[in-house]
Amino acid sequence: MNITSSSRARFLLARAFTCVAVVSLLAACESAESKQMKAIAGDYVTLYESEIPPGQQQPFVSQRNTLTLRPDGRWVEKIERRILDEEKTITDSGAYRVQGTMLALGATEQGPSVRMTISGDTLWSNGSSSIKAAEAVTGVKVNDSGEQGFMVRQR
């Protein structure tokens, strides 16, 4: 009986060491996407103000969009909009993916998926689909020219 108990104890000990080694190895291996998510994590902001109408003290439309990218692949967007004296806050959230310089925000109940290009501390929207999605969510036509929009990391 001592031989069987001793063999079993050695087997369990070896198995425990193997499990610890595998868990340590998995923790040490981090995907390229995970590293990029940590690198770009932060708050990205864009501001928009319309011209001040004649006889008014403030812009007709004022809007601040804040996109928070978390290192775990989740995002939260907060849109603070003021039209004349009416203020409204809209929030949305979801998951995102990163491939090279491309950031893809997943579709949500409030809007379609959005693709952006990462360039240093700036996120560039990729054309009209992103602009149309923002307009659909906010109800405000932010960019009439069809130019690319952008968000800058807030430090």
Q: Do residues 19 and 58 share a domain?
A: no
pLDDT for 45 equals 96
Q: Per-residue pLDDT tens for 1-54?
A: 455 677 777 777 777 677 666 665 555 567 888 999 999 999 999 998 888 878
Q: Do residues 81 and 15 share a domain?
A: no
Return the percent helix, strand and coil in the chain, to nearest 5.
Answer: 30, 40, 30
The number of folded domains in the chain is 2
Q: Do residues 71 and 23 share a domain?
A: no
CB atoms within 10 A of CB 18: 10
Instruction: Indicate yes or no: pTM above 0.85.
Output: no
Q: Do residues 65 and 125 share a domain?
A: yes
Domain coverage including residue 12:
2-30
Q: Do residues 82 and 17 share a domain?
A: no
Q: Do residues 49 and 119 share a domain?
A: yes
Amino acid at 151: M
Burial 58-70 (b: 16+ CB within 10 A, else e): ebebbbebbbbbe
